[in-house]
Structure 1
Amino acid sequence: MAQHVTVGADGSPESRAAARWAAQEAVLREVPLRLVHAVDWPLDPVFPGVGRQDVDRWADRSLTEAAQELHRRHPQLEITTRCPSARPAAALAAEAADAALLVLGSRGLGGMAGFLVGSVAVSTVVATDTPVVLVRVADDPEGPRTGSSAEIVVGVDIHEACDRVLAFAFEEAERRGCPLRAVHGWKMPSAYAYVPFLDPDDERDIGRSVTHMVQDVLLPWRHEFPDVDVTHSVFMGSAGEGLVRASRGAGLVVVGRHLRRSPLGAHLGPVAHAVLHHAAAPVAIIAHD
């Protein structure tokens, strides 16, 4: 069983926020924290005149400063550092292989502003089977919105098994002692596109049926985690948009992504993609079959 939390640390404000979030998570889990700074060489000609020794010294100093800050906040937390020489996404995915959780800032030094997620973060998410949490500066534990008691929101799929997603969400809610809200968005069957007039009773009947299916999916988890306060939100519409709305004020949003690969490689599904780019809370991406 994996016994530590790994976090990517590159000295950016996003990575510092991610490191503070990861440290709190490691304390909750009572496991060590590993700080990883991947050095992608060569940097020239992007940064002309910068030598390999300069980059290595900067990386070491960045890790040391991050570790010292976290030690001051959590004196009992065991912290180790790693500085592999490799492309960041590949290095972080490799470091996550034996971790219980990988935590990343949503945007690195070269990223774009706003809610857009950096290419390193997306590449890392699809390169590892380890649960990945993305954290923004606004999600910093020092900020006014953050708190381990804020509810966790989880996207529920009634059409495919999502045990890994629900297990992560329920375990995290139990660990934090916070409520859990299950969210599911549904759409009318495609055949209804050819029906000139939609009977409102049909919509209500389908809605009730979908709600019962969501309740059935949650039932065994309620029994396994009786101390977790669980509610559910079932609605007709986009699941991604519903999760983004539910993320406002949440402590964490949990969504799944399929392990299936396309001819062009692994990719995020539309729901995970929407949540990653627009959620107003840290996002956990859980790989599942």
Structure 2
Amino acid sequence: MGSRADGVVVGVDESDGALNAARWAGVVAARLGKTLHIVHGLGNVGHQLTGTVAAIRAAATVSQRDSAETIVRSAVAAVHSQSPDLKVTALSTDMPVVDILLQLTNTARMIVVGGSHVTAAGALFLGSTTLAVATRASCPVVAWRGQNTAPTDQPIVVGVDESPSCTSALENAFEFAERFGVKLAAVHAWRMRCAVGGVSNPLLIDWDLVATAVRRQLTDRVDRHSQRHPDVEVSCNLETSDPSSALLNQIDLDGAQLVVVGNRGRNTLTSAVLGSTTLNLLHHSPVPVMICRAPQ
């Protein structure tokens, strides 16, 4: 795996979404000056280790071996159709695709996956390759969505909060914006509500003063990254709504091409049950979603 260090990795299957994700990943790899590594593995058939699942897994392995060469060859051709000079490697394995992708996150610059949107029920009962990788990866994971098979000149949206993973989200969002010469919109969502045990009468709170303080915190956090990426034009947006709604609204408002968020490290089951911001975006976002984990 050492030869894959710092490359962009994309997981592919027989779907059109996977081919489009590979095309998108290829353009990103070329712009970053990285090799693209195409990976094809056994699909995710669920978490319940029953006899039925074991039979499905065995049948899937046989089917995969028959179609793997065609899938990988198609992915390589799709990538080279847009990025003819890009160095591409390909790997097909009987390992579950989640396992091989998670192994590669230790050295990859980025993992890209494509396919259907993630639903809460699907994540909880059937399992999701996207969610399984995104919640456990040590590098950024991009869930490809939408129609664009290459980054565009449209803005990028990044969610900003107080979590440690936000630092990674901001750094990756700024780097992407800088590489592709696009604008960046930083979004922080907050609610005008009283904490338990706080002021009982909301009329006694100077909400304008609170909003000013929250906006100052947002701009201070963004400014630290702007100093390292002075060529990126960035705006700070304060929204009085839940985080996923605020980000989705900003995507629509800006016509954004990518949304970047931090991952707080929840497991798949917790994310599905609680309906986290990440899960909501994976389900509803019309554009690729980049999920970044806090530095270890």
Fold match by TM threshold 0.5: yes
The alpha-carbon deviation at position 96 of structure 1 amounts to 2.8
1:148 aligns with 2:157: no
Question: Does the C-alpha gap of structure 1 residues 250 and 238 become closer, same or farther in structure 2, counting only changes over 3 Å?
Answer: same
The alpha-carbon deviation at position 258 of structure 1 amounts to 2.1
Q: Superposition pairs for residues 115-154 of structure 1, below 5 Å?
A: 119-136=128-145, 138-141=146-149, 147-154=151-158
Question: Does the C-alpha gap of structure 1 residues 161 and 126 become closer, same or farther in structure 2, counting only changes over 3 Å?
Answer: closer
Does the 8 Å CA contact 1:170/1:221 hold for their aligned counterparts? Answer: yes
Q: Give the distance between the partners of 1:179 and 1:23, measured in 2 at CA.
A: 22
1:29 aligns with 2:37: no
CA-atom RMSD in angstroms: 3.3
The aligned length equals: 278
The alpha-carbon deviation at position 257 of structure 1 amounts to 0.8
Question: Does the C-alpha gap of structure 1 residues 35 and 208 become closer, same or farther in structure 2, counting only changes over 3 Å?
Answer: same
Q: Superposition pairs for residues 77-92 of structure 1, below 5 Å?
A: 77-92=86-101
Which digits, 9 at most, give the CA deviation of each residue in 1:205-251, with x for residues without a partner? 11111001111111221111110001011122211210111123211
Higher relative contact order (CA 8 A, sep 6+): 2
Q: Which residue of 1 aligns with 2:181?
A: 177
Which digits, 9 at most, give the CA deviation of each residue in 1:80-116, with x for residues without a partner? 10012122211221133221000001429xx87xxx7
The alpha-carbon deviation at position 261 of structure 1 amounts to 6.4
Deviates more, 1:150-159 or 1:32-41: 32-41
Q: Give the distance between the partners of 1:244 and 1:69, measured in 2 at CA.
A: 30
Q: Which residue of 1 aligns with 2:291?
A: 285
Higher helix share: 2
The alpha-carbon deviation at position 282 of structure 1 amounts to 0.5
TM-score (norm 1): 0.84
The alpha-carbon deviation at position 32 of structure 1 amounts to 1.0
Does the 8 Å CA contact 1:43/1:50 hold for their aligned counterparts? Answer: no
Question: Does the C-alpha gap of structure 1 residues 216 and 48 become closer, same or farther in structure 2, counting only changes over 3 Å?
Answer: closer
Which of 204, 211, 234 pairs up with 2:208? 204
Q: Which residue of 1 aligns with 2:42?
A: 39
Q: Which residue of 1 aligns with 2:48?
A: none
Does the 8 Å CA contact 1:20/1:140 hold for their aligned counterparts? Answer: no
Give the residue type in structure 2 aligned to 1:255.
Answer: V
Q: Superposition pairs for residues 1-289 of structure 1, below 5 Å?
A: 2-39=5-42, 45-46=55-56, 52=62, 54-107=63-116, 119-136=128-145, 138-141=146-149, 147-158=151-162, 160=164, 162-187=166-191, 188-191=193-196, 195-199=200-204, 202-248=206-252, 249-259=255-265, 270-288=276-294
Deviates more, 1:12-21 or 1:173-182: 12-21
